[in-house]
Structure 1
Amino acid sequence: MLKSKEAYEFICKGINRKDKFDEFETLFGQYKNDTTEDTVNIKKVKQRDNDGDIKRFAANFYKSSIVNYKGYVQGASQADKNRYSEVIASTLLSKNLLKTWTDLKPVRSNHFDTNHSPSEIVDMKKLQGTNRKEEILAKLLFYQREVDGLGYIFDYQTPLKATQNDSYGKIDLLGYNTDDDCYSVIELKYRPSGSEETLLRCVLEAYTYYKLLDLKQIKSDVDHAGIKALKKELPKYKHTDKSELVILFDEKSCTDDDGGVETNLLLRIDPVVVDKPNYPSKTVVSQQYKECQELINPSKRKNLRALCEAILKQESKLKQIRFVVLRIEDIDKAVPLKNVQNWSSELDRSYRAETLLTIPSKG
């Protein structure tokens, strides 16, 4: 049976970066030369959901630095098929490694024991007093609830791990797509200076989180304020076992001279001086937006598209994968958040979204 170190080695060889195999121990928590049993005994790692070693590969591969590589494989021509992300996507498919994700199962007994509430009273100045701007943006979308072009947001930072030893992260946003009647597992990417993560990383992270989410808990929950609001405020809402993966990202972060006041998702980007607008030193287009423009072109990013289609074929309850750009609502249409104190029409915004590409399930 294929082991996680063998799977990772396939990928490293495929991109001509055998040197990156040295990251295996840190990434997967297993020594390169150890057996799975030895590693578990030595480190006393308790992973109740990871009975099989290969699950470690599926659960952690998106974190690997190589998944975020841009450019072309060293020694290969600068053809689209030789991009790092394209070769990795191709290897996942040709070596049948994508199938390992089917073994991932939810482990947390309650995803919604966090006391998250869309109507909790918060102070915008205190909220913005941190460098964790992606998390702040996620909270603001959660407080806004309905985001045109995206859906109804009913939770943020949804936990997936059962114990502190689990390596799983948190889902950035959970939503309900009112147009397609399905839940949205949303992977948000944002940095004031421009996010640099690849779409390959985004897709694999969103897919991993989807596999670790127990949707039935949404139906059975009776205490989570966001779920209560979802059921109350959407008359046509109906629980479903269908979902979509959504990659949500900024188009660009602009300088003041480039019109940042009219386009930037956040203006309070300085955690020390939160009562004045701040702008990046140069205008930067996000990596996700650049790659999505290429993915829209049928002649480019073919292996990434094939990977998305293979994920959808593998998961009968996934309806689609959407690539969505987040934008600010027209300033004159912005609606102040009632629960957010010190919300300012000059510094704060409402949001809308625009779907650039939808890859549908063919099932």
Structure 2
Amino acid sequence: MLDCKEAYELICKAIDREVKFNELETIFSQNKTDKKNNNEKTKKVKQEDNYIEVKRFAANFYKAPIVNYKGYVKGAIQEDKNRYSEVISSTLLSKNLLQSWKELAPVRPNHFDTAHTPSEKVEMEKLQGTNRKEEILAKLLFYQREVAGLGYIFDYQTPLKETQDDSYGKIDLLGYNTDDKCYSVIELKYRPSGSDETLLRCILEAYTYYKLLDLNQIKSDVGHGGIKNLKELPKYKHTDKAELVILFDEKSCKADDGGAETNLMLRIVPKKVNEANYPSNTVESQQHKECKELIDSSKRKALRTLCEEILAQEPNLKQIRFVVLRADTDSKVPYPTNIKGWSRKLDRLYRAETLLTIPSKR
């Protein structure tokens, strides 16, 4: 297996791009444990050192700028196979780099020590008082609990790192798919002006987080508020099966384009907490654009194959779902009573629509 530097340089070469100065160390930063391991080479064999490098590549590659490149490789004919994401997907497969993810394993002893609970009291004004709009949306989905077309949400911002020095992020949302009887590792993408992250990044990020999550902790953590409620679901039964869900907005609309009915969040400017806010232009999200192409069997073939190979090497992954989140303006569901200041005029209930499911062939 190639080490971290060799693997990254190989992919950069495939897309005709030079590795920029200090880029490797910035993207593939090591935690203290890995640095200590690398400094004890006299006590380790070469194979063990390479194992650390392989893990480092898999755990951090989704953060590389090249994973978010749009358009076509420089100098190539503008055909679908020459898109950056297609070439990177093909290279991950042809050079057996996807197998690096098999080396990842959970490190955190307790994912649920954050004590997130759907019954906690929160003020809408304070909830909106952050620039991290994606995190606000994740919390609103958590407080709604059951989202039609998506599943039952029992945690948000689930931590994965063991120490502060780990580079791992947090899972946006954890849910339970009552129809397919599996847990959902949900990667949420949202920006009021339209998210521009590629599906390749979304897929690799969700897969990385799945590998760093210990599903058995869901069963054992009886003190977690969301899990307690999960156990009360009529159709719920703990399982070792899971799915990856890429959850995204279709588009952010200006007022004249129907933003009042369709926009996922209207109360998005902290200084104007009691007023609706709309973008100046209607912008379709990058994920929705690419998902429409992924549905077309003649496009995004390498990206689809990448999804199929992820499923093939993970016996407990049932499927990868691409889901668009929508404002549920017609819902009769009661608004979350634990959110003080929640308004039907300014705040949303949500539903979801699955645009594409790629199932495991197992």
Task: Give the TM-score band, short-chain normalised.
Answer: over 0.9
| 1:143-292 alignment, distance < 5 Å | 143-232=143-232, 234-292=233-291
Aligned mates of 1:148, 1:39 — CA distance in 2: 47
Alignment-mate amino acid for residue 118 of structure 1 = P
Match of 2:39 among 38, 41, 49: 41
Unaligned runs of 5+ in 1: 31-35, 43-48
RMSD (Å) for aligned C-alpha atoms: 1.9
| 1:347-358 alignment, distance < 5 Å | 347-358=346-357
Q: What is the SS of the residue equivalent to 2:272? A: coil
Alignment-mate amino acid for residue 182 of structure 1 = C
Aligned mates of 2:36, 2:76 — CA distance in 1: 39
| 1:316-335 alignment, distance < 5 Å | 316-331=315-330, 333=332, 335=334
Aligned mates of 1:332, 1:228 — CA distance in 2: 25
Q: In 2, are the aligned partners of 1:296 and 1:357 still within 8 Å (CA)?
A: yes
Aligned mates of 1:81, 1:358 — CA distance in 2: 22
Q: What is the SS of the residue equivalent to 1:158? A: strand
- What is the CA deviation profile of residues 129-155 of structure 1, one whole-angstrom value per residue up to 9, with x for unaligned ones? 111110000000000000000000000
Sort the Cα spacing of 1:63 and 1:50 in 2 relative to 1 into closer, same or farther, 3 A. Answer: farther
Q: In 1, are the aligned partners of 2:325 and 2:350 still within 8 Å (CA)?
A: yes
Aligned mates of 1:3, 1:130 — CA distance in 2: 39
Instruction: Compute the displacement of 1:19 (Å).
Output: 3.7
Corresponding residue of 1:45: none
Q: In 2, are the aligned partners of 1:331 and 1:349 still within 8 Å (CA)?
A: no
Aligned mates of 1:6, 1:335 — CA distance in 2: 54
Corresponding residue of 2:125: 125
Aligned mates of 1:61, 1:128 — CA distance in 2: 31
Corresponding residue of 1:2: 2
Aligned mates of 1:198, 1:206 — CA distance in 2: 13
Instruction: Compute the displacement of 1:40 (Å).
Output: 4.0
Aligned mates of 1:305, 1:103 — CA distance in 2: 22
Q: In 2, are the aligned partners of 1:118 and 1:225 still within 8 Å (CA)?
A: yes
Output the TM-score relative to the length of structure 1. Answer: 0.94
- What is the CA deviation profile of residues 204-255 of structure 1, one whole-angstrom value per residue up to 9, with x for unaligned ones? 00000000000000011111000001102x1221000000000000000000
Aligned mates of 1:141, 1:37 — CA distance in 2: 38
Q: What is the SS of the residue equivalent to 1:235? A: coil
Give the share of equivalent positions with the same residue, in percent: 75
Instruction: Compute the displacement of 1:359 (Å).
Output: 0.1
Corresponding residue of 2:44: none
Alignment-mate amino acid for residue 130 of structure 1 = T
Output the TM-score relative to the length of structure 2. Answer: 0.94
Aligned mates of 1:93, 1:235 — CA distance in 2: 41
- What is the CA deviation profile of residues 49-72 of structure 1, one whole-angstrom value per residue up to 9, with x for unaligned ones? 995211100000000000000000
Instruction: Compute the displacement of 1:29 (Å).
Output: 2.7
Aligned mates of 1:40, 1:280 — CA distance in 2: 49
Matched, 1:101 2:112: no
Corresponding residue of 2:68: 68
Aligned positions, number: 352
Aligned mates of 1:50, 1:323 — CA distance in 2: 34
Aligned mates of 2:21, 2:98 — CA distance in 1: 19
Instruction: Compute the displacement of 1:289 (Å).
Output: 0.2
Q: In 2, are the aligned partners of 1:124 and 1:340 still within 8 Å (CA)?
A: yes
Alignment-mate amino acid for residue 340 of structure 1 = I
Aligned mates of 1:269, 1:39 — CA distance in 2: 45
Q: In 2, are the aligned partners of 1:15 and 1:88 still within 8 Å (CA)?
A: yes
Q: In 2, are the aligned partners of 1:50 and 1:56 still within 8 Å (CA)?
A: no
Instruction: Compute the displacement of 1:37 (Å).
Output: 7.3
Q: In 2, are the aligned partners of 1:68 and 1:200 still within 8 Å (CA)?
A: yes
Aligned mates of 2:35, 2:217 — CA distance in 1: 33
Q: What is the SS of the residue equivalent to 1:165? A: coil
| 1:294-313 alignment, distance < 5 Å | 294-313=293-312
Q: What is the SS of the residue equivalent to 2:257? A: coil
Instruction: Compute the displacement of 1:331 (Å).
Output: 3.9
